[in-house]
Amino acid sequence: MRSKERFNQLATEARNPRTRRLDIVPTSRLVELINLEDHNVAKAVKRSLPQVTRAVEMISKQMAAGGRLIYVGAGTSGRIGILDAVECVPTFNTDPEQIQGMIAGGFEGCYRAVEANEDDADAGARDLLKKAVSAQDVVVGIAASGRTPYTCGALRFAKSMGAKTIAIVNNPGTEMKRIADLTIEALTGPEALTGSTRMKAGTAQKMICNILTTAALVRLGAAYSNLMINVHMKNEKLLNRGLTILREITGVGEQEARKALSSARGNLKVAAVMLGRKCNATLARSILNREKGNLRKALEKTTRTEK
């Protein structure tokens, strides 16, 4: 009973006084009320930015040393982690193993509501065991309540294996905060529809995950200025995006950009160095390797090989 009482006291489970007439207001007002609540999400995320900054630094440091980022969650939170992990592949051309998501209920939990699985703390530990988590990795647990047993179990196991642990929650002073090395609290308050944390809480979680992976990968050299230089050019839209980026960086015409990209075997960074430093693909790769893949340094520095 005590556990149920504590759950009912969570801010994300409280009734929102601003939306008590939700079922009887005109549709235009219903839509407006939901949108007005959404206005508070970015503010809640902004208040958590000092912790988000520390999380980005932790993730980028571990990944630079060969570690992985593993999101863990149940229901909406689990799906948000998986979505962010999957989207890193086309955006940054990351290895699918480098950033990944884990959800209560496994593959089925991505597409169907199997929320009963979230009550099994041992399952969280077992699922993470299968991923051979180690001290190199960062495990990010996501839960609006901050108390989901599956996610708590995974975080405890990750800590026992020496991994860095981060919690993303939407309530203060949670169990996950007591477990994790670092906690990001995005306090979004009561939902427009009571307890429906797929709304404000989920939106805040998605915003934070966007920042974590984007900022960490930018720190690791996955962007030049604000351009996606690691974009995965596997369809026409992404190829055109890659050509536009290459032309933006180097100032060349489309034909010359296509030729360089072909010589670079589709590697946008190599093509940019070829055009920017007027060298062949072999030397461009050598320059990039010497600068650990950092395109800005590769374009700006003169190396011994070129002298």
236 is catalytic: no
What does the alpha-carbon distance between residue 143 and residue 169 come to, in Å, rounded to a whole number?
Answer: 5
Question: At 202, which helix (H) or strand (E)?
Answer: helix 200-219
pLDDT at 185 over 50: yes
With bands split at pLDDT 50, 70 and 90, how would you rate the model's confidence at 7? Answer: low
pLDDT at 96 over 50: yes
Helix, coil or strand: residue 27? helix
pLDDT at 307 over 60: no
What does the alpha-carbon distance between residue 223 and residue 207 come to, in Å, rounded to a whole number?
Answer: 19
Other residues' Cβ atoms within 10 Å of the Cβ of residue 174: 22
pLDDT in tens, 34-78: 999 999 999 999 999 999 999 999 999 999 999 999 999 999 999
pLDDT in tens, 199-243: 999 999 999 999 999 999 999 999 999 999 988 787 888 889 999
pLDDT of residue 234: 79
With bands split at pLDDT 50, 70 and 90, how would you rate the model's confidence at 301? Answer: low
pLDDT at 254 over 50: yes
pLDDT in tens, 272-286: 999 999 999 999 999
CA 44 to chain centre: 18
pLDDT at 186 over 70: yes
pLDDT in tens, 104-154: 998 887 877 766 578 889 999 999 999 999 999 999 999 999 999 999 999
CA 106 to chain centre: 19
Of 13, 57, 87, 115, the active-site residue reads 87
Helix, coil or strand: residue 200? helix
**E strands along 22-152, which residues?**
69-73, 99-103, 138-143
Helix, coil or strand: residue 167? strand
pLDDT of residue 231: 84
Residue of 155 and 114 predicted with greater confidence: 155
Please compute the mean of the pLDDT values over residues 257-274 and round it to a whole number. Answer: 93
Domains in the chain with CATH codes: 2-219 (3.40.50.10490), 236-306 (1.10.8.1080)
pLDDT of residue 237: 86
Which phi and psi (to 5°) does residue 168 adopt? -115, 115
Of 5, 37, 115, 118, the active-site residue reads 118
pLDDT at 3 over 60: no
What does the alpha-carbon distance between residue 301 and residue 307 come to, in Å, rounded to a whole number?
Answer: 11
Which phi and psi (to 5°) does residue 220 adopt? -90, 10
What does the alpha-carbon distance between residue 261 and residue 242 come to, in Å, rounded to a whole number?
Answer: 9
191 is catalytic: no
pLDDT of residue 300: 87
pLDDT of residue 75: 93
